[in-house]
Structure 1
Amino acid sequence: MTTNDLAIIISTYFSLGLQYEEIIGLLAQRHNVILSMRTLKRRLASYGLYRRKNFSDIFQVAMFIFEQLKSSGCLHGYRWMHSRCLQNGFIVQKEMKELENVVETWNAHRIRKSKHCDINGRPMVLYQAPFLKGTEDYSLPLDNVELNACAEECDFDDSDCDNDILDLADILMEENSWTKTRDPYDRATLYLQMRDIIKQNL
């Protein structure tokens, strides 16, 4: 494995939001590369990758969060939103005051009555205590067994990938008898293997 390959692997694991210990474990287990914590941190610094520096522009992060809140993101907590930010290339602090302000602003705004709906109020109040506004609680308790069964049946494809690349990836998976997996570490390894093969054939 070349130094450049190792840099790409470490950068990929770092961008997935993995902890330092997880990166060291993956390097040892999957790539037979043994690094100390100190060496890993030094290499990440040489690549310009920091956990607490180079944060993304707060305006771009806020716009991304508002887009997530329009869809299913409004049903999740800050940990889920933080991981979505990381997955989409935003470097943010979990405790970032500005993000807390975004959440507070969203929950503080008032939903007004419209000709299609008589219910009005603050989003968090409507979600947590719908009976205060004279409406029913439409949320349903979920059984974890049923939820896990549904998750296994679903394949969440948030890919913005080109269709030709997706077709090529499907061909590579079939030729090499690779299978889709839900394990993020296996997915990262699969991605690196596919990327290497595609690079060699270009």
Structure 2
Amino acid sequence: MDDRIRFYFDQGLTQTEIALCLSVIDNLHISVRHLRRRLSGLQLYRRRQYSDPERVVNFIASQLEGQGRLHGYRMMHERCCLNDLRLTRAMVREIQIQIRLQEFLREDSTGTVHGPCVFQGTSQANQRLESWWGIYRRQNTDYWMDMFKELQSTGDFTGDATDKGLIQFCFLSIIQEELDTVVNMWNNHRIRRSNGCDLQHGKPFLMYNLPELYQTKDFLNPVDAERLDVIVHENVCLWKSEIPCDHDLYDLCVLVMEENNLQPSAAATEALRLYKNIRPLVRELVGSLCHQSPALDSMSQNPPRLTPDLSHDHHHLEF
């Protein structure tokens, strides 16, 4: 039970909502008063025992170096909560302002001082699910699009099979992890009540798992396992693999990394550094081996089409 309580607490649910989830989803019936005692025993508090400030600042600073630079303080607070950091939105807001002010005061290599580093005010454009794709682009994909466009403009990406495979090898796992984070952030944010709108408010996590609270029901239909077996055996779709690119190219990249003491990447900036280091080495090897191996030559002409997995167990955001 303690694991489930901790899980629901990390989703940002209130005590009443946690008790409801335990009762309906897990068939564990406890009162809110007893739940409060269990939370105290687990040292799970909303307004006490905030995380170490240095750890929080380091985490937010690292996020601002990547796609987190597109987030406002509310989305950054959700990202902090998903990484077991306890703090208030006001703390996140102040930390982001101070970090961005420090970056603003530093000129770039051309001596140019950039525009405002912080915009403050209310947002009227991100309150409903209908605008989700616009929000997703502004707060996530714009970062990746800008990065890959810059690689193309500098000649570090030509669009051929080898470069596409190297992009998949270096970036795909990080992009998938970021997609999972975005889904979790969205499913656990609280949709605010809007006056004059006949729309539900609350957490998508609760809307999905407890539809009865919103005067509706679960419309999911179970799929027969035999039908799934047919899909598997007839290769109807491309299943997600631990290998993000062509198998031959993957083996070659791993070998090059071992020989040149290159480390796997865990963040966008590290992946970019790995890509720029490994690309000339791999392209040189592929160029010399294509004349000897028909398999590699075929790979260079017909790259596999692999895309990140946008599905996940209990993802309540439908794509």
TM-score range, shorter chain: 0.5 to 0.7
| Partner residue in 2 for 1:19 | 14
Quick one: which of 67, 72, 76 aligns to 1:81? 76
5+ residue gaps, structure 2, are 122-129, 141-174, 182-240, 243-311
Equivalent residues of 1:112, 1:119 under 8 A apart: yes
**Over aligned residues, Cα RMSD in angstroms?**
3.5
Q: Name which structure has the greater RCO, CA cutoff 8 Å, separation 6+.
A: 2
1:38-97 deviation line (CA, Å, top 9, x unaligned): 11111111122222222110110011011111112122121211111111011112233x
Quick one: which of 98, 101, 120 aligns to 2:94? 101
| Partner residue in 1 for 2:65 | 70
1:25 is displaced (CA, Å) by 1.7
1:148 is displaced (CA, Å) by 8.4
The 3 A distance-change label for structure 1 pair 180 and 33 is: closer
Distance in 1, Cα, partners of 2:135 & 2:95 = 31
Tell me the SS of whatever aligns to 1:10: helix
5+ residue gaps, structure 1, are 1-5, 129-142, 159-165, 168-178, 185-202
TM normalised by structure 2 equals 0.38
The 3 A distance-change label for structure 1 pair 69 and 146 is: closer
Aligned ranges 1:181-192 → 2 under 5 Å: 181-183=314-316
The 3 A distance-change label for structure 1 pair 146 and 94 is: closer
Aligned ranges 1:1-202 → 2 under 5 Å: 6-96=1-91, 99-109=92-102, 110-115=105-110, 118=112, 120-124=114-118, 144=131, 146-147=133-134, 156-157=179-180, 180-183=313-316
Distance in 2, Cα, partners of 1:20 & 1:123 = 38
The 3 A distance-change label for structure 1 pair 50 and 145 is: closer
| Partner residue in 1 for 2:212 | none
1:31 is displaced (CA, Å) by 1.2
1:33 is displaced (CA, Å) by 1.9
1:149 is displaced (CA, Å) by 9.7
- Amino acid corresponding to residue 61 of structure 1 in structure 2: V
Distance in 1, Cα, partners of 2:67 & 2:135 = 18
- Give identity over the alignment, percent: 29
The 3 A distance-change label for structure 1 pair 146 and 29 is: same
- Amino acid corresponding to residue 144 of structure 1 in structure 2: S
Structure 1 or 2, whichever has the larger Rg, is 2
Tell me the SS of whatever aligns to 1:82: helix
Distance in 2, Cα, partners of 1:53 & 1:24 = 21
1:104 is displaced (CA, Å) by 2.6
1:146 is displaced (CA, Å) by 4.7
Pick which of 7-16 and 62-71 moved more: 7-16
1:182 is displaced (CA, Å) by 1.4
TM normalised by structure 1 equals 0.57
